[in-house]
């Protein structure tokens, strides 16, 4: 366990724009308030979604595209710097009209409606390549 205490510098509420990209909207909320490191939660609905699953053996992301309208039952993630850019690492649980749930790393999705709560940390979070997993991870 690598952990550290945080200082919170502010918190924000955002409404995601209809028709925009879900993850880009969260990154815009962070950018609008100068947030480089933070934790967020969101909920709402999307018009489509691209979900990524990381193949831990082949060390590659597998993409699944859902061209259907889905609820965003839950969304959680954090904001850090990756290759000099602000990056919202976003996971989501989506659902169909039957109640069936889909989930994973949310790379993209067209917002139908979305509500987001973001908390900003004073200390920077920088993602760098991790040999053991093949992922870009931050060291808290």
What residues between 5 and 44 interact with a second copy by CB under 8 A?
Answer: 5-6, 8, 10-18, 20, 25, 28-29, 32-33, 39, 41, 43
Q: Say how far apart CA 63 and CA 107 lie, in whole Å.
A: 9
Q: Applying CB under 8 A, which of residues 83, 84, 85, 100 lies at the interface with a second copy?
A: 100
Nearer to a second copy, 85 or 97 (CB): 97
**Residue of 41, 39, 32, 24 lying closest to 80 (CA atoms):** 39
103 contacts 90 by C-beta, under 8 angstroms? no
Do residues 101 and 110 lie in contact, with contact meaning Cβ atoms separated by under 8 Å? Answer: no
Q: Any contact of residue 135 with a second copy (CB under 8 A)?
A: yes
Does residue 83 touch a second copy according to CB under 8 A?
A: no
In the region spanning residues 48 to 67, those forming contacts with a second copy, defined by CB under 8 A, are 51, 53-57, 62, 64, 66
Tell me the C-alpha distance between 26 and 44, whole Å: 13
**Across-strand partners of 52?**
63, 105
Q: Write out the binding residues for a second copy, residues 101-130 only, by CB under 8 A.
A: 101-105, 112-113, 115-117, 121, 125, 130
Q: Compute φ and ψ for 60, nearest 5 degrees.
A: -140, 150
Task: Give Dmax over CA atoms of the chain in angstroms.
Answer: 43
Nearer to a second copy, 86 or 104 (CB): 104
Shortest distance in whole angstroms from residue 43 CB to a second copy: 5
CB of 101 to a second copy, least distance (A): 4
């Amino acid at each position: 366990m690598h952990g550290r205490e945080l200082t919170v510098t502010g918190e924000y509420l955002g409404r995601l724009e209809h028709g925009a990209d879900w993850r880009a909207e969260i990154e815009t909320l962070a950018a609008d308030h100068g947030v480089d490191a933070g934790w967020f939660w969101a909920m709402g609905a999307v018009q489509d979604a691209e979900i990524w699953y990381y193949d831990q053996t082949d060390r590659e992301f597998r993409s699944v595209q859902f061209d259907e309208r889905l609820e965003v039952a839950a969304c959680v993630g954090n904001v850090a710097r990756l290759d000099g850019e602000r990056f919202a690492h976003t996971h989501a649980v989506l659902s169909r009209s039957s109640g069936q749930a889909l989930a994973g790393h949310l790379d993209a999705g067209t917002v139908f409606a979305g509500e987001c709560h973001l908390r900003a940390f004073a200390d920077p979070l920088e993602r760098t390549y991790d040999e053991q997993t093949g992922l870009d991870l931050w060291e808290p």
